[in-house]
């Protein structure tokens, strides 16, 4: 968003600065899954009794949290996926992204990664396969997996829950018009990062998640959305918006006019130049 991109690539659908929310989620989950320490003269502290998965965490973050909670070698939870016999739709092709439902899961001495991952997916299926969500997806001429994918974008992009329905509408409007989504959140997912700054070089990466270069939805969800994002995905609010940008925290502007959007982007860029740099994540 800080650069002059040719007209087609310059259209920016800027996501929220999720640093605060993600940071909070990490603290909450970190508290729940903190790895016990050995101290001189003391026995090992008790294992945590619950695992908190915040809304919007990616599968990679969930796997890491499971490994920490169960004191396992990093990568163990991810490797456990094939043996967990997860009830995923065929479209997922064995990838649980989008189905590791954000909630609090109890831990016991007998907890294993396969069991935890299965609980998350089973919870997602209970939430998603009920009449409101499944019927809402059908009403919008999409299957459930597509609805979850849209919800994951909404979760990543919306600054507030109040913005979610409008972000969802932008997604639908651009899909209906045959426009690329051009969501920075999908590029961040491809690059395994979270940032407010996306460069022209970033928008040219070769990836099925590059929604600047590829049409339609990404091949999978890009995180694990919560209930509010799912509701927004199946009930987008009415509107003709095609663009949005979070000019500053609490001020996300939606527009149907590209010239208006450019002015909003210019204001965002000005704010970024004067903002206090945030710690590197």
- Please write the tens of the pLDDT for every residue from 78-104: 999 999 999 999 999 999 999 999 999
Question: Mean pLDDT in the chain?
Answer: 86
Query: Is the pLDDT confidence value at 15 over 80?
Result: no
At 29 the pLDDT is 43
Query: Is the pLDDT confidence value at 66 over 70?
Result: yes
User: Which of 44-53, 148-157, 189-198, 238-247 bottoms out in mean pLDDT, i.e. has the lowest?
Assistant: 44-53
Same domain, 92 and 121: yes
Query: Is residue 136 included in any domain, yes or no?
Result: no
Average pLDDT over residues 37-61: 79
Same domain, 95 and 215: no
User: Which of 27-41, 110-124, 230-244 bottoms out in mean pLDDT, i.e. has the lowest?
Assistant: 27-41
Query: Is the pLDDT confidence value at 21 over 90?
Result: no
Query: Is residue 56 included in any domain, yes or no?
Result: yes
Query: Is residue 281 included in any domain, yes or no?
Result: no
Average pLDDT over residues 128-132: 90
Print the domain residue range for 37: 21-128
Average pLDDT over residues 187-216: 94
At 272 the pLDDT is 83
Same domain, 121 and 177: no
Same domain, 94 and 191: no
Query: Is the pLDDT confidence value at 196 over 80?
Result: no
Same domain, 153 and 264: yes
Query: Is residue 213 included in any domain, yes or no?
Result: yes
At 99 the pLDDT is 98
Same domain, 32 and 166: no
Query: Is residue 280 included in any domain, yes or no?
Result: no
Query: Is residue 2 included in any domain, yes or no?
Result: no
CA angle 246, 247, 252 (to 5 degrees): 40
Query: Is residue 137 included in any domain, yes or no?
Result: no
Burial group, residue 23, by CB count within 10 angstroms (0-12, 13-18, 19+): middle
Same domain, 216 and 99: no
Query: Is residue 133 included in any domain, yes or no?
Result: no
């Amino acid at each position: 968003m800080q650069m002059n991109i040719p007209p087609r690539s310059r259209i920016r659908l800027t996501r929220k600065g999720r640093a605060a929310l993600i940071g909070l989620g990490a603290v909450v989950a970190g508290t729940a899954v903190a790895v016990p320490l050995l101290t001189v003269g003391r026995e090992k502290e008790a294992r945590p009794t619950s695992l908190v998965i915040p809304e919007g965490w990616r599968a990679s973050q969930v796997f890491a949290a499971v490994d920490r909670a169960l004191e396992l070698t990093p990568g163990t939870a991810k490797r456990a996926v094939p043996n967990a016999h997860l009830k995923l739709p065929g479209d997922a092709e064995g990838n649980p992204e989008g189905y590791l439902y954000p909630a609090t899961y109890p831990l016991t001495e007998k907890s294993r990664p396969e069991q935890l991952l299965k609980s998350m997916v089973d919870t997602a299926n209970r939430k998603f396969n009920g009449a409101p969500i499944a019927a809402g997806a059908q009403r919008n001429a999409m299957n459930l997996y597509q609805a979850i994918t849209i919800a994951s974008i909404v979760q990543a992009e919306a600054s507030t829950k109040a913005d979610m329905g409008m972000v969802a509408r932008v997604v639908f409007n651009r899909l209906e018009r045959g426009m690329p989504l051009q969501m920075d959140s999908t590029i961040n997912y491809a690059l395994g990062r979270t940032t407010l700054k996306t460069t022209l070089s970033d928008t040219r990466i070769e990836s099925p998640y590059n929604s600047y270069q590829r049409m339609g939805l990404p091949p999978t969800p890009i995180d694990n959305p919560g209930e509010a994002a799912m509701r927004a995905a199946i009930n987008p609010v009415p509107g003709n918006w095609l663009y949005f940008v979070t000019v500053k925290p609490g001020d996300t502007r939606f527009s149907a006019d590209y010239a208006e959007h450019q002015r909003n982007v210019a204001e965002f860029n000005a704010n970024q130049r004067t903002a206090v740099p945030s710690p590197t994540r």
